[in-house]
Amino acid sequence: MKYFLYCALAASLMPSIPALAQPTPKPAAASATTYTVQGRVTDRSTGQGLPGVTVLAKGTTTGVSTNKDGTYSIQVPKQAKLLLFSSIGYMQREVKLTGQTTINVWLASDSQQLSEVVVMGTAPAVQKQEVTGSVSSVITGKAAGVSVRGSRSLKRKDREAAASAPYGYAYPGQPEPGAGESYATIAENGFRNATKEPLSTFSIDVDAASYSNVRRFLQQGQLPPTDAVRTEELINYFQYNYPQPEPTAPEPFRVITEQAQCPWNPEHQLVQVALQGRKVPTEKLPPANLVFLIDVSGSMQGDDRLGLVQQALRLLTKELRPQDKVAMVVYAGAAGTVLPPTAGSSRADILAAIGRLTAGGSTAGGAGLRLAYQVARQNFNKEGNNRVILCTDGDFNVGEQSDQAMERLITEERESGVFLTVLGVGQGNYQDKKMELLADKGNGNYAYLDNLDEARRVLVQQFGGTLFTIAKDVKLQVEFNPARVREYRLVGYENRLLAAEDFNNDRKDAGELGSGHTVTALYEVVPVGAPASVDPLKYQPATPTPTPAATAELLTVKLRYKQPQGGSSKLLEQPLTGQDRPLAEASENLRFAAAVAQFGMLLRQSDYRGTATWEATAALAKGARSYDPDGYRAELVRLIKLAEGLRPSPTELGSR
């Protein structure tokens, strides 16, 4: 057998750091001139941790290598600007240092880097043997005591371009961010003429998956794919300090409206339409009939997938009450019940079933959904909350594969009165498009768990809002007064738009509102007298517009909803009057929602972002943080600064 020297290749790919030859020492305490950065390096295609990756503060001699699970901790000199990640068989990556203390990254395999690989056992008293398989399987330790050698064939200019590419933008040899993941295409809402189209109709959306997914990209040093940014989900991720419904009010929510100057276009107005769901104490919530439906296929292997699901379900189990019941269905090559309906007081049995879960096999998602709904129907509680909780990366590859087939399945099953909650995990093969569709059509909600803290937020802090519906098929229809409004634009909600006639059609599905949930929608309004976005018509006479009275209504909000098990909707109406005011005089709720909307438009590079800048967005969010019970508003300010540091320069954009 012909052998190639490993050392020459290693020297060409990795910086010379004497400390790497020894076991990685425990990091010393950070001094005044350094700070600690820690995180995990994973394989782009498998999501598994990569051991032995060189992590170097570029331009210094400070470096460490990752542990067997891909984790690392490094003391970074404060003057360092870049963190370099390199490993044999993978493309090098650089991350700009902006003071962040957690950096999780993935490395993409360099399919052209090794033209020949020979693996040789080096353990004493072990006969030499040839090992075949992918480079990643060898590097991740599936063959113990091996060394890898090869020759580089990737062009140098492509290597250098890939190594220096800013995250969120692709150069030769570097995949697009989110490659292998699926997101529904979003065509942003444009302006509508209030005279020709006075009605704006849409379904509410309480999902917040887009925000935590965007956070995942930014914390890994990437700008997210454009279609991963759903602005309404970013806005609705946060809690707002809206007043609760009156105790004697028959409706389970309160409607709040407000208007002020638009921050990204001062000549326009910003109108906020919001709902505050009634907060029902946990002890007064109806009994729950829950079915955990867990994807245990091969794609779910890993601590950030099935491992995170298990941790999340353990947190949820601790919230269960004796009157609640839980069953557990799993699916891989086939579907099966691993826990019959069990009282919430039998926590040991539920936790034991969760602990026995392992991943492997193909993905019979359709069969799993059918079985879970069947179990939920068999134990249906007419006075309770009946729900399937689906935990998956959405990578269905057996059974109902097409979106149309899955939509038909879910639409049929929702007629039983069983609601659906979708919890997404993983990366690389993440199927956001499919999971959003399932939750939308299944009378449910959708969250993405990027870490255990998000699982705690969704399943513990928002236990009632996530799992208990207080109103279903909630639709909003806003009618604009042409005497005061020339044009309007709904910010976000592109995949929730409805036809005007759908508003009165009780057979038309819409969104669900949970206990304590808030829903916020923003309209950018062009008032009469402001410059129009479309030039005046040449062949139609201009109709003089009388100056409206200060007391004239700007718009009327109409709302329809059903009781959780009801079939007929109820109608509410509420007008908005008065004049707009400076943004500085607006409520903190409106100002913070406006900051989040700007954040979304900047991430999307929206044509409607106007004068918005990262600096102005951070300042607007920072000035609206007095109500921040869980610290998520402060986190947003940090994410805005991260995104600003990742944006491409004009030179980088021009060179693509």
Residue ranges per structural domain of the chain: 6-164, 192-280+470-536+546-650, 289-460
How far is residue 117's CA from residue 139's CA, in Å, rounded to a whole number? 12
Average pLDDT over residues 371-391: 92
Predicted pLDDT at 14? 41
Give the tens place of pLDDT for each residue, 287-323: 999 999 999 988 898 899 999 999 999 999 999 999 9
Are 474 and 503 in contact by the 8 Å Cβ rule? The answer is: no
Name which of 363, 371, 369, 357 is nearest 306 in CA terms. Answer: 357
- Name the CATH superfamily housing domain 289-460: von Willebrand factor, type A domain (3.40.50.410)
DSSP state of 357: -
Output the pLDDT for position 60: 80
Query: Do 460 and 496 meet the contact criterion of CB atoms below 8 Å apart?
Result: no
CB atoms within 10 A of CB 538: 5
Q: Tell me the pLDDT band of 149, cut-offs 50, 70 and 90.
A: very low
Pair of tokens at residue 489: 């634009």
Residue 562: beta bridge partners?
472
For 35, residues 6+ apart whose C-beta sits below 8 A from its C-beta are: 75, 76, 78, 99, 101
For residue 521, what are the contacts with CB-CB under 8 A and spacing of at least 6? Answer: 202, 232, 272, 273, 274, 476, 490, 491, 492, 493
Q: What is the pLDDT of residues 481-505, one digit of tens each?
A: 999 999 999 999 999 999 999 999 9
Amino acid at 174: Q
Among 520, 422, 514, which residue's Cα sits nearest to residue 471? 514
Least confident of 35-44, 147-156, 303-312, 322-331: 147-156
CATH fold group of domain 6-164? Immunoglobulin-like (2.60.40)
Q: Residue 333 and residue 365: Cα distance in Å, rounded?
A: 9
What integer pLDDT is reported at residue 186 of this predicted model? Answer: 95
Q: What is the pLDDT of residue 278?
A: 93
pTM: 0.73
CA distances from 315 to 25, 267, 449, 451, 590 (A): 33, 48, 13, 13, 33
Does residue 111 register a pLDDT over 80?
no
Q: Cα separation of 118 and 136, whole Å?
A: 14
Asked if pLDDT for residue 403 goes beyond 70, the answer is: no
For the chain, give the mean pLDDT: 82
The CATH architecture assigned to 192-280+470-536+546-650 reads Sandwich (2.60)
Pull the structure tokens for residue 141. Answer: 């330790």
Q: Which residues contact 130 (CB under 8 A, 6 or more apart)?
A: 1, 118, 119
Confidence (pLDDT) at 648:
61
Encode burial over 392-428: b for 16+ CB neighbours within 10 A, e otherwise: bbbbbebbbeebeebbebbeebbeebbbbbbbbbbbb
- Could you check whether 6-164 and 289-460 share the same CATH topology? no
The more confident residue out of 651 and 205 is 205
Q: Which amino acid is at 299?
A: S
